[in-house]
Amino acid sequence: MIRAQKRRARIRRTALVFLFLAFLLLAGALYAPRIDALVISRTSVSGVRILSERDVEDVAAREMDGAYALLFPKNISLWYPKENVLRAILSLPAVRDASVRVSDNTLHISVRERSPAYVWCNERPDFSLSGLHACLFVDEEDIAFARAPSFSRPLFFTVFPGEGVETSIAPGEHVLPAGVFEKAALIASFLSSLGADVRMMEILPDGDYALLSPWGTRILFSGDADAAATVETLRIGLGGEGITNPDVYEYIDARFEGKLFLKKRESAGEKTTAGKGAE
């Protein structure tokens, strides 16, 4: 009997504590919005160049709109949805990193945007038709993140799908397999040392790629090959003659380590030049 009474008393005390805490919580929810120092009423955005400040502000505002359980406004600094705001900002394709903090009734958002490494076009761009080709900037992680303006010539290294390659890229998606752009850049750098300003690359079927010189010479390489070995094959095979003359070659095929296949424009025949490691 005594034990039962003690148990009931303990339950009553526990219930009173919970009711008191619930009262405090409810009172806080009703009173906090009246304390101006706790209300987030402004947003400040820094670090944007590609995005507008409004783009970021709108994303944050959507996460802070409304209330928890219809009682607790989300725009109170004590319990604003920081992680949700940050996650929403990071979902913008152009954002590489971001941070948020609150001070003086202001939500401060700092953004670090992606930097363009090259440009992707869903079809081969015609630079003579300014404004008629839609392309995307791509960063060093091979993520497309923002529309690139139209250029009259390829100011950035430009990649596009060739015939028979069904590839359509949207912002936020990966473009090239890991490492392929770095390989292309290394080979293009070598070709540049020979006088060829290579700024375009076509994706071919079966994991092959073609770098394009300004006069249309196609330099073929395999995405699976070692870039240094490909450069060595080109170096030995070309023999230092360079490819600066637009009438010299129609294509240069470096897809096979140790061998270089060249096709001159003036004849239909092919010439095979042994490179490093060839017998």
pLDDT in tens, 190-211: 888 877 788 899 999 889 999 9
What confidence score (pLDDT) does residue 265 get?
74
Which CATH architecture fits 118-274? Answer: 3-Layer(aba) Sandwich (3.40)
Question: What's the confidence (pLDDT) of residue 166?
Answer: 80
- pLDDT of residue 31 exceeding 60: no
Question: Which of 136, 60, 62 lies closest to 94 in space, CA to CA?
Answer: 136
Amino acid present at 193: S
Residue 243 scores a pLDDT above 60: no
The mean pLDDT of 256-272, rounded to a whole number, is 70
- For residues 221 and 181, the answer to whether their CB atoms sit within 8 Å is no
Are the folds of 36-113 and 118-274 the same?
no
CA dist 203 and 80 (Å) reads: 47
Q: What is the mean pLDDT of residues 114-126?
A: 91
Query: Which residues on neighbouring strands pair with residue 68, listed in sequence order?
Result: 72
Q: What is the pLDDT of residues 138-191, one digit of tens each?
A: 999 999 999 988 776 778 899 999 988 888 899 999 999 999 999 999 999 988
Per mean pLDDT, which range of 4-13, 26-35, 134-143, 209-218 is the poorest? 26-35
Q: By mean pLDDT, which of 16-20, 34-38, 162-166 is the weakest?
A: 16-20
What's the CA gap between 103 and 230, in Å, rounded?
Answer: 55
How far apart are alpha carbons 266 and 247 in whole angstroms? 8
User: Model confidence at 278, in pLDDT bands (50, 70, 90)?
Assistant: very low
Domains in the chain: boundaries: 1-34, 36-113, 118-274
Least confident of 8-17, 190-199, 253-262, 267-276: 267-276
pLDDT higher for 264 or 153?
A: 264
Please report the pLDDT score of residue 124 as a whole number: 86
DSSP string, 125-170: --TTSTT---EEEE-TTSBEEEEEPP-SS-SS-EEEE-TT------
Q: Give the bridge partners for 110, in sequence order.
A: 46, 99
Mean pLDDT of 252-265: 86
3-state secondary structure of 104: coil
Q: How confident is the model at residue 276 (pLDDT cuts 50, 70, 90)?
A: very low
Where does 36-113 sit in CATH, by number?
A: 3.10.20.310
**Binning pLDDT at 50, 70 and 90, where does residue 246 land?**
very low
70-116 per-position pLDDT tens digit: 777 898 888 899 999 999 999 999 999 999 999 999 999 999 999 99
Confidence of residue 126 (pLDDT cuts 50, 70, 90): confident
Burial 76-88 (b: 16+ CB within 10 A, else e): bbeebbeeebbeb
Question: What pLDDT is recorded for position 98?
Answer: 97
